[in-house]
Structure 1
């Protein structure tokens, strides 16, 4: 994708953010999860492109976006999301699709700036803080990532965590994930995951303020957002529902693009919100 279309650079409080703009139609933001960048949507783009103007974001510090300052935190990232929408879809509300980090950014944006979000898909995006046991495990991986990068046992640990067993044996899919980490650089990637995932704040209390139609995409019990957990979260938002993609892991757009694409298209087809 990066080789075919040069990104637009949007100035934001989190630093310049690169956005690939594809197609024409309803403005739709795609924001990736951590460990990946905007290229992770590549498998999914053909399913989402018809009738849409896709704004494929490289989140601050990832992909073609420039390095972020150490002081950049969640508030600056939220302002970056606002800047992307206001700059590239002026006067419009967008359909937002995010995985992991991108889903949590979308939830906060929909709650705090509802005029900017027409609908929201949040996949594998638990708004609660990371559980303590998982934090300890991820920190061990990040310490090694800072030293050697995403190679050897470190790369394998990230692949196993982020991709289903089937996808973890596909060289092209594994390569797409590891290439994003290599492009970000080991220090920047580790700092970003630590700041925006390991130390993520609790956004659960914002769910009642998400008045846009919301689809929570869940996984089985081995994934990052089990179906039962997603159902309990959906009960807190006025217009939320849940769909499940079996055997999915954190990088759903890479991992299960066909099932994810069908879920998103079915959700969009059923929207009862005026354009």
Structure 2
């Protein structure tokens, strides 16, 4: 595994490079960093060359930019795709994003369809957050600024992201979350504003996306149910939904094998229907 940095409008973005095959970008969820993909990397890297992003303000990426929005993140993603093209000779990627990463992928696929071969959007509602959640987050941010991800702040984050079972029986997943929060520090506040509070309705993007899409939902996230995802998928050009069991927001952490199987099956199905061009498949 190697790492490199990409200068973007949101600062220097760190990317890890691992695996063999056509390029795929992995962009993580809120409150974590690229380490949240570690449990699925071995399975996915057998089929794709993975470019695993530390999103702005997170992990090893620069943390100086002010809060932005999903559009700005998609602009940064465009620059990352270009840098990947320089490294592996392909100007099109498969996109795998969780929540925040799913929203960025949807926006990018809608405005730059030539860049995205397939899109996997995990736990990524297409509508903005409701008023009640917005109010809770706004109340939480001043406390986060003062005490960091401890006490009631830690409790709110961990219960939002993980099922009760994960919190009690999966110390490795809990440790990965704690590490991501520690490394990102209070810079995570800008990410929260960008990816949650400034998130807008992405129905317009769903209507414009032409690449194959897989919505990965979970059975324990009330904000985005499998039924809601299927309703959205039915309105799109080529979209489907699959449900990961016993997970809440980050299935790659809570149920890595189910997640790997879902993504690999999707890639395999789409490859059978529309084989990758030789110049991409050979990379």
User: Hey, what's the Cα distance between the residues in 1 that align with 2:224 and 2:85?
Assistant: 30
Q: Does 1:274 align with 2:270?
A: no
Structure 1 residue 120, shift from structure 2 partner: 0.4
Between 74-83 and 48-57, the greater mean CA deviation after superposition: 74-83
2:11 is aligned with 1:15: yes
Displacement after TM superposition at 1:81 (Å): 0.4
Structure 2 vs 1, CA of residues 153 and 245 (structure 1 numbering), >3 Å: closer, same or farther? same
Aligned CA distance change for structure 1 residues 51 and 266 (closer, same or farther; 3 Å): closer
1:81-230 matched pairs, under 5 angstroms? 81-90=77-86, 91-169=90-168, 170-186=170-186, 188-220=187-219, 222-230=221-229
Given the two structures, how large is their TM-score scaled by the length of structure 1? 0.94
The 2-side partners of 1:229 and 1:75 are apart by 24
Query: 1:55 maps to which residue?
Result: 51
2:35 pairs with 13, 24, 39, which one?
Answer: 39
After the TM superposition, which parts of structure 1 deviate over 6 Å for at least 4 consecutive aligned residues? none
1:28: which partner in 2? 24
CA separation in 1, counterparts of 2:5 and 2:251? Answer: 26
Pair 1:71–1:167, CA change in 2 (3 A): closer
SS of aligned partner of 2:261? helix
1: distance between equivalents of 2:222 and 2:245?
Answer: 9
Equivalents in 1 of 2:234, 2:23: separation in Å? Answer: 28
Cα deviation code 1:135-154 (max 9, x no counterpart): 11222232321111111221
Partner of 2:61: 65
Return the alpha-carbon distance in structure 2 between the equivalents of residues 41 and 224 of structure 1.
22
C-alpha separation between the residues in 2 aligned to 1:68 and 1:75? 18
1:239 counterpart residue number:
238
- 2:247 corresponds to: 248
TM-score (norm 2): 0.91
CA distance in 2, matches of 1:166, 1:224: 19
C-alpha root-mean-square deviation of aligned residues, in Å? 1.5
Q: Is 1:41–1:254's contact at 8 Å kept on the other side of the alignment?
A: yes
Moved more, 138-147 or 56-65: 138-147
Alignment check: 8 A CA contact 1:28 1:94 kept: yes
Aligned residue pairs total 270
The 3 A distance-change label for structure 1 pair 255 and 139 is farther
For 1:71 and 1:105, locate their aligned partners in 2 and report how far apart those are by CA, in whole Å. 15
Structure 1 residue runs of 5 or longer lacking an equivalent are none
Separation of aligned partners in 1, 2:274 and 2:127: 28
Unaligned regions of 5+ residues in structure 2, if any?
277-283
